[in-house]
Amino acid sequence: MSTIAGWAGRVRGLFTDTKGPWGPSGSSDEPPSDDHGGGPWGGPASRGTGGRSVAPLDDLLRRGRMRFRGGGGLPGRPNGSLILWAVIGFFAIWLIFTSIHSISPGERGVVTRFGRYSYTLGPGVGLTLPSPVDRVKKVDVESIRTVDLGSQSSEDLMLTGDQNLIDIAYSVRWNVRTPELYSFQLADPDEAIRQVAESAMRAVIAQVSLQDAMGDKRSEIEAQVADRMQRVLTGYRSGIEIQGVAIQQADPPDEVNDAFKEVTAAQQDAKSYVNQANAYALQLTAKAQGEAAAFDKVYEQYRLAPEVTRRRMYYETMEQVLSKVDKTIVEAPGVTPYLPLPEVKKQQQQQQQQEAQQ
């Protein structure tokens, strides 16, 4: 109750025509509010000069009252003119800030007039009507944005055309081609891109074999997915341009990874078999060629003097052979020599032992 009484007194005091807020009578009106136990506009603030107030409402009401009283005394007063200038300044700044727009080179400004799309500002400084009428939404059209799909950490399995599973992670790069379409056509363009990408990737992967998806046809798949996405997004009139799709990872699922490693091992084994065979072939060919060449050389000489060469070779060989072995010459027939074979063997054993000791 006391608060209301304080309020009432206060308002009356401010709006009574006979007393100015700057007049001395203003202060005589204040005490009641103090006496009533202090309203929200408690004494200290309005006591004293009564010219300055801390409460914004006070200020507002006072300003309003001054206007209502007409321009008579107003321009003369420093406070009034200050407020006027502040208001003008505020509007001026507002006008400048809301009607001049600098659009950086990578951006376009989509202008809406009362909510309706009006035109698109190119890079540079653009002029529009001030704020409540025209609004500008800046859209970045140059920078390429990236959406990562699939997952690097956990598994995201996809079925391939030959009913195998593949763990795939990929990213989509895109930018805005038509800013007004991008702003107004799709409810959630980013989510749309994700969904369309997933769908397109699944559709393409479902038509290729696991082997193709993992290796050989990766770039082809990327191109197909990008193409498919672009067609769908253009169908939505989304104003989005797909710059490219990159498959970061296309691996078999962890569960069957061992079997895939086995294949790699087998490939290496097969390669080493072939390599060994090739080495053998090289060796054999070289040997054959070498021997054939040697024979040819000797044969050339042999042809010039067959008998002599033949005898010479025979003697040389026999010489070499017989000089290194034990020989026994026996006049036969008629003589049956005793062959001391056990003795020979003993000798041999002794020789071997000596060699071993050495």
Partner 1 sequence: MTAFIRQRPILSAVFAPFVLIVLLSSFPTIPETKQAVVVRFGKPERILRYEAARPIGSTGAGLSYRIPFVDQIVWIDKRVLAVDMEPQPVLSTDQRRLMVDAFARYRIVDPLLMYIRSTTEENLRTQLQTILRSEVRNELGRQPFAALLSPERQGVMDDVRKSLNVQASKFGVEIVDVRIKKTDLPDGTPLQSAFESMRTARLQEARSIRAQGLKQAQIIRAQADADAAKTYAASFGKDPQFYDFYRAMQSYQATFIGDGTSKPAPTNIILSPQNDYLKEFTGRTK
**Residues 160-179 close enough to bind partner 1 by CB under 8 A:** 161, 163-165
The reply to whether 314 sits near partner 1 by the rule CB under 8 A is yes
The reply to whether 313 sits near partner 1 by the rule CB under 8 A is yes
Distances (CA, A) of 279 to 11, 284, 287, 293: 111, 9, 12, 21
Is 50 within 8 Å of 26 (Cβ atoms)?
A: yes
One residue of 186, 213, 221, 247 binding partner 1 per CB under 8 A: 186
Structure tokens that stand for 304 in this block? 């010039």
Structure tokens that stand for 258 in this block? 């061992």
| # of chain residues touching partner 1 (CB under 8 A) | 104
In this structure, the chain runs to a length of: 358
User: What 3-state class would DSSP assign to 67?
Assistant: helix
One residue of 219, 317, 350, 353 binding partner 1 per CB under 8 A: 317
The reply to whether 236 sits near partner 1 by the rule CB under 8 A is yes
If the CB atoms of residues 99 and 164 are measured against partner 1, the closer one turns out to be 164
Q: Residues 128-157 vs partner 1: string with x where CB under 8 A? A: -----------------------------x
One residue of 55, 92, 144, 274 binding partner 1 per CB under 8 A: 274
Listed ranges 24-32, 37-45, 217-225, 260-268: which one lies at the site for partner 1 (CB under 8 A): 260-268
Listed ranges 24-32, 42-50, 81-89, 258-266: which one lies at the site for partner 1 (CB under 8 A): 258-266
Is 153 within 8 Å of 109 (Cβ atoms)?
A: no
Q: What's the rounded Cα separation, in Å, for the pair 66 and 76?
A: 12
CA nearest neighbour of 57 among 48, 68, 47, 46: 46
Under rule CB under 8 A, which residues in 16-45 are in contact with partner 1? none
| 9 CB neighbour count, 10 Å cutoff | 18
If the CB atoms of residues 33 and 183 are measured against partner 1, the closer one turns out to be 183
Under rule CB under 8 A, which residues in 96-135 are in contact with partner 1? 112-119
One residue of 3, 79, 99, 185 binding partner 1 per CB under 8 A: 185
CA nearest neighbour of 168 among 125, 133, 137, 198: 198
Q: Which residue has the tokens 């699939």?
A: 150
Is 180 within 8 Å of 189 (Cβ atoms)?
A: no
The reply to whether 202 sits near partner 1 by the rule CB under 8 A is yes
The reply to whether 72 sits near partner 1 by the rule CB under 8 A is no
Q: What's the rounded Cα separation, in Å, for the pair 146 and 225?
A: 15
One residue of 270, 308, 350, 353 binding partner 1 per CB under 8 A: 270
One residue of 4, 8, 11, 54 binding partner 1 per CB under 8 A: 11
DSSP state of 144: P
